[in-house]
A and B are shown apart, each in its own frame.
Chain A
Amino acid sequence: MIAGTVDSKRVALAPRAIDARIGMMLFLASWGMVFLTLFFSYAVLRFQAPVWPPADVPPLPTNVKIFAWTNTILMIVSSVFLKNAFGRRLNSPRSIVFVGATMLCGLVFLFLQIETWLELWRPGMYMSDGTYQSLFYLLTGFHALHVAAGLLLFIWTLPGLRALAGIGPRPTADRAIHYEVRAYSVSMFWHFVDVAWLATFAVVYFT
């Protein structure tokens, strides 16, 4: 925006930060459509099957269900941590601690997700076995990729968060906005991944 042209109200956020939030919301709406597409596909395929899960698929082992529940809790907790990290201005080392806690949750989530697949591979349940198996690995795998992407994105924000927290040289005002925008966008992505997991969990384990 051009200085002097915002006539109505002065907003606390830098114009660039508002642009980024709108852009990020649009991206998440758009990307959310990919998730919805996968859920829609699940519904179309699932409701055509006479029995679900199909008769030849053994029921999911108990520890897989425990992993899924644990992961659900982890995801919710991670979002709470993240909310805490960004609940205040990003100028204290506390936000780094909370982001670290969020990342730890994500890491454990990913570990348990991989354990889940290993648990199912051992008795021989593969993606190519049938529609049920294809859908199971598709939905959990597609979501897990987002968790991994989220973790990488957090690593990308860390130098900026350090600088904002006053560890090392102070960033210029322009740079500071840049770092805040980046951190905030990544946090929006993570909350999205959290909601996507709740939906995936509900679809895969309860329908």
Chain B
Amino acid sequence: MDDHIHPEPTSFISKYIFSHDHKVIAKQFIFLGLFGLLFGGVMAMIIRWTIAYPGEPFPVLGKLLFSDTNGLLSNDRYAMFFTMHGTIMIFFAITPILIGGFGNFTIPLMIGARDMAFPTLNMLSFWAYFVSVLFLAGSFFVPGGASAGGWVAYPPLASTQFQAGWGHTFWLFAIYFVGASSTMGAINYITTVIRLRAPGMGWFDMPLTIWGLWLTAVLNALFLPVLTGGAILMILDRVAGTHFYTAASLGQKGGDPILWQHLFWIFGHPEVYILILPAWGIVSDLLSFFSRKPAFGYRVTACAMIAITILSALVYGHHMFTTGMSPMLSESFQILTMIISIPAAIFFENWLHTIWHGQIRLATPMLFSLGLVFVFGLGGLSGLYLGSIATDLYLHDTYFVVGHFHLTMAAAVLFGSFAAIYFWFPKMFGRMMNDTLGKIHFWLSVVPLTAVFVGMLIVGYAGHHRRTPSLQAYEYLKPLQQMNVWITVAALSLGAAQVLFIINFFMSLFAGPKAPNNPWGVGTLEWMLPSPPKYYNFEKIPNIYYGPHEYGNPSVKDRDWVGQWEDPKNPGSGGPNAH
């Protein structure tokens, strides 16, 4: 970036629509992501309703959406719904909120930069993403409706044989543009962190949030293109009649459906870390901030995250144990998968040590961070059964898998997103969210959420297949009906609790109390700025003297935190942008 400060744009369009400002782009991503969360969430409710109450239309929405089938979700639409639920939640809810949204918002602010390294690319990243949203939304309206081949889109289920319409092709276009958007974002994030850290900020002076986002960007840059490449082959199979994934016969004419599984999971396993690493980073910081203690083993946590990033590229085969791969290969994948538990356990321990003997402040962001630690613990432990071949062969494609990946990718990432929203809302919008409402939202979320996904582990262990719309079709599944009713009741309560969040969000946005510069007493750079920060963030780029978690420093008397920007030779100076 240049040393001069560019003038602030004045027209509405350049300020809020085609904005180059990372803070505005962040908000665009977050609003789109919250909308996706709502959409995918309602779909989940309808899916759960259909399993628990076969033959009863979903209240209100059922009659509106499925008037041709008496308000019931037909089996075809059931498949479409779980496909789109997965796609929307992963690519159009979590990705935009945590990576597009908080990635954009926190990276320049927390490393002391005025904007991203490539602001125009940043804007393009959002608009490529928007094109993707249009394709996905459009796919609902083409003849035959949206894709129903599952979010993993395995051929031949996703081939023209079973997904005849344009719905699945649109899905692939949407994936392609998500890939383009993520690549642009990743290039920007990586370069920005390498180049624009404030003077004095070494790699190990960065907040762990930035570590998580940076490693996510690395994985995004390297592995989303694999999905893009796979999608190109599938688009050609569908529109040009090529034979990459066709299952006619191996050898002369047909391709190999398993090839897609390889490509999908070479991308897909890193993808779960793409989603969870930002949440890990954010929570690693928040646990320290709200325990008023430095993060325990900061460097070790960062290195553990690096180790996981590297390992995540080497384990994809554990999704394919049932495809008949050679035992030597599957055992290698099993061992590598199990090795991931070592760095994972290390930073999990570090989290616990961080809060140990801390002066814990149970504000809403802290509650959600602790919630993440809890549900991620459950999710991680259930993963061990899927990583080892012997148990996976039985559990494969059951609700156990659904429960596991929801605890890790959905529940943990959702809590990470909520923690981030409650934490940075004051900086983003200049107003405080209601803490009491936030706490109620947390408790009304964590209890049913645990019930839903642990319940899924149980029915999955009993053999409930993940894509079965009705238990009544199978004698051996009938006894699981009542359990599924309870899961649905919990799911509906979880969904209802989110209304509190929506109320709190919009109420605070317009009428919340004005936020001070540093409401939480935190020493990272964004909190030295006014809330919300000015267009160019830092009038003068600060020098960095401390790490991100400088608590209980004896040289400062009147408070327990020290800002990263505070000169120890001139204590209490508050730095160049002091209020």
The segment from A34-42, A91-99, A111-119, A163-171 that touches chain B is A34-42
Question: Given A48-B251, A131-B253, A131-B254, is A41 in contact with B244 using a C-beta cutoff of 8 Å?
Answer: yes
- How far apart sit A26 and B220, CA to CA, in the bound complex (Å)? 11
A23 to B199, CA, bound (A): 21
| A132-151 interface code vs B (CB 8 A; 1 in, 0 out) | 00110110001000000000
Q: List 27 A-B contacts (CB under 8 A).
A: A2-B199, A3-B3, A19-B117, A19-B195, A22-B194, A22-B195, A23-B118, A23-B188, A26-B186, A30-B186, A30-B187, A34-B228, A34-B229, A37-B226, A44-B258, A44-B262, A45-B255, A49-B251, A127-B236, A128-B240, A131-B244, A134-B244, A135-B244, A138-B236, A138-B242, A138-B244, A142-B232
In the bound complex, do residue B251 and residue A26 qualify as a contact, i.e. CB atoms below 8 Å apart? no
In-complex Cβ contact of B225 among A16, A19, A30 (8 A) = A30
**Interface membership of chain B positions 121-133, coded 1 if the CB is closer than 8 angstroms to chain A and 0 otherwise:** 1000000000000
Contacts of B222 in A (CB 8 A): 29-30, 33
In the assembly, what is the distance between CA of A22 and CA of B225, in Å? 18
Collect the chain B residues with CB atoms within 8 Å of residue A44's CB: 256, 258-259, 262
Contact assessment for A33 and B253 in the assembled complex, using a CB-CB cutoff below 8 Å: no
In the complex, chain A residues 4-24 whose Cβ is within 8 Å of any chain B Cβ? 5, 7, 15-16, 18-19, 22-23
A45 touching B244 by the CB < 8 A rule? yes
Hey, which chain A residues are within 8 Å of B225, CB to CB?
A: 30-34, 37
Inter-chain contact B541/A23, CB cutoff 8 Å: no
Which residues 111-160 of B sit at the A interface, judged by CB distance below 8 A? 117-118, 121
Interface residues of B in 172-188 (CB under 8 A from A): 183, 186-188
Q: A26 contacts B191, CB within 8 Å?
A: yes
Nearest residue in A to B121 (C-beta to C-beta)? A23
B residues less than 8 Å from A3 (CB atoms): 3
Q: Taking the nearest CB of chain B, how far is it from the CB of A193, in angstroms?
A: 16
Answer yes or no: B82 CB below 8 A from chain A CBs.
no
Which residues of B have CB within 8 Å of A18? 195
Contact of B243 among A23, A32, A38, A134 (CB under 8 A): A134
Q: Are A134 and B242 in contact (CB under 8 A)?
A: yes
- Give 12 A-B pairs besides A33-B222, A38-B233 with Cβ atoms closer than 8 angstroms: A5-B199, A23-B191, A26-B221, A33-B226, A44-B258, A45-B256, A45-B259, A48-B251, A131-B254, A134-B236, A135-B244, A138-B242
A58 in the interface (beta carbon within 8 A): no
Choose among A1, A50, A54 the residue that contacts B195 (Cβ–Cβ < 8 A): A1
| Cα–Cα distance between A77 and B255 once the two chains are bound (Å) | 37
Question: Chain A residue with minimal CB distance to B543?
Answer: A5
Contact B256 A138 (CB under 8 A): no
A residues near B555, Cβ cutoff 8 Å: none
Query: Do the beta carbons of A130 and B252 come within 8 Å of each other?
Result: yes
Distance in Å: Cβ of B351 to nearest Cβ of chain A:
31
Indicate whether A48 sits within 8 Å of B256 (C-beta atoms), given known contacts A26-B221, A134-B242: yes
One of A15, A50, A55 near B1 (C-beta < 8 A): A15
Interfacial chain B residues near A50, Cβ < 8 Å: 251
Instruction: Decide if the interface of chain B is mainly helix, strand, loop or mixed.
Output: helix
Residue B13 CB within 8 A of the other chain:
no
CA A130 to CA B236, docked complex, whole Å: 13
Using C-beta atoms within 8 Å of the partner chain, give the interface range for chain B.
35 or more
- In the complex, B196 has a CB within 8 A of chain A: yes
Distance between Cα atoms of A164 and B54 in the complex (Å) = 72
Considering only residues 36-74 of chain A, those with a C-beta below 8 Å from chain B are: 36-38, 40-41, 44-45, 48-50, 54-56
Residues of A within 8 A of B183 (CB): 27, 30-31
Is the beta-carbon distance between B251 and A54 smaller than 8 angstroms?
yes
Contacts of A2 in B (CB 8 A): 1, 3, 199, 541
Are B229 and A16 interface neighbours, CB within 8 A?
no
Q: Are B263 and A40 in contact (CB under 8 A)?
A: yes
Q: Enumerate chain A residues within 8 angstroms of B190, measured Cβ to Cβ.
A: 22, 26
Quick check: B199 and A130 within 8 Å, CB to CB? no
- A138 / chain B contacts, CB cutoff of 8 Å: 233, 236, 242, 244
- A16 cross-chain contacts in B, Cβ below 8 A: 1-2
User: Which residues in A have their C-beta under 8 angstroms from that of B223?
Assistant: 33
- A41–B240 Cα distance when bound, in Å, is 17
With contacts A19-B191, A49-B251 taken as known, whether A127 is within 8 angstroms of B244 at the C-beta atoms is no
List residues of chain A with CB within 8 A of the CB of B118.
19, 23
A49 to B250 CA separation, bound complex (whole angstroms): 7
B230 at the interface (CB under 8 A from A): yes
Q: Please determine whether B191 and A29 come into contact, CB atoms closer than 8 angstroms.
A: no
B112 nearest CB neighbor, chain A only: A2
List A contacts of B194 (CB < 8 A): 22
- Asked if A7 and B199 sit within 8 Å, CB to CB, the answer is yes
Residues of A within 8 A of B236 (CB): 127, 134, 138
Interface residues of B in 1-43 (CB under 8 A from A): 1-3
Residues of B with C-beta under 8 A to A29: 221-222
Of A33, A127, A130, which contacts B229 at CB under 8 A?
Answer: A33
Most buried by B among A16, A23, A54, A127: A23
The A-contacting residues of B in range 188-244, CB under 8 angstroms, are: 188, 190-191, 194-196, 198-199, 221-226, 228-230, 232-233, 236, 240-244
* Alpha-carbon separation in the docked complex, A36 to B222 (Å): 11
Question: Whole-angstrom distance from the CB of B479 to the nearest CB of chain A?
Answer: 42
Residues of B within 8 A of A27 (CB): 183, 187
Q: Complex: how many Å from CA A50 to CA B250?
A: 9
In this complex, what residue of A is CB-closest to B217?
Answer: A26
Q: Are A37 and B229 in contact (CB under 8 A)?
A: yes
Docked Cα-Cα span, A50 to B252, in Å, equals 9
A56 surroundings in chain B (CB, below 8 A): 252
Instruction: Give the residues in chain A near B195, CB-CB below 8 Å.
Output: 1, 15, 18-19, 22
State in angstroms the CA–CA spacing of A9 and B224 once bound together: 36
1/0 contact string of B427-463 vs chain A (CB within 8 Å): 0000000000000000000000000000000000000
B173 smallest CB distance to A (angstroms): 16
* Complex interface: chain B residues within 8 A of A30 (CB): 183, 186-187, 221-222, 224-225
Closest Cβ of chain B: how far from A147's Cβ, in Å? 17
Question: In the assembly, what is the distance between CA of A23 and CA of B465, in Å?
Answer: 45
A138 and B236 alpha carbons, distance in the complex (Å):
9
Complex interface bits, A68-102 against B, C-beta within 8 A gives 1, otherwise 0: 00000000000000000000000000000000000
Q: Which residue of B lies closest to A31 (CB)?
A: B225
**Complexed CA–CA distance, A180 and B228 (Å):** 31
Assembly CA distance A123 to B82 (angstroms): 46
Q: Are B244 and A1 neighbours in the complex by a CB distance under 8 Å?
A: no
Closest CB in chain A relative to B554 CB, distance in Å: 29
Q: Which of B327-347 contact A (CB under 8 A)?
A: none
**Residues of B contacting A127 with CB < 8 Å?**
236, 240-242
Residues of chain B contacted by A35 (CB below 8 angstroms) = 229
Contacting B263 at CB < 8 Å: which of A26, A32, A37, A49?
A37
Task: Give min CB distance, B154 to chain A, whole Å.
Answer: 15
Contacts of B255 in A (CB 8 A): 45, 131, 134
CA distance A1 to B191 in the complex (A): 12
Bound CA span A44–B199, Å:
48
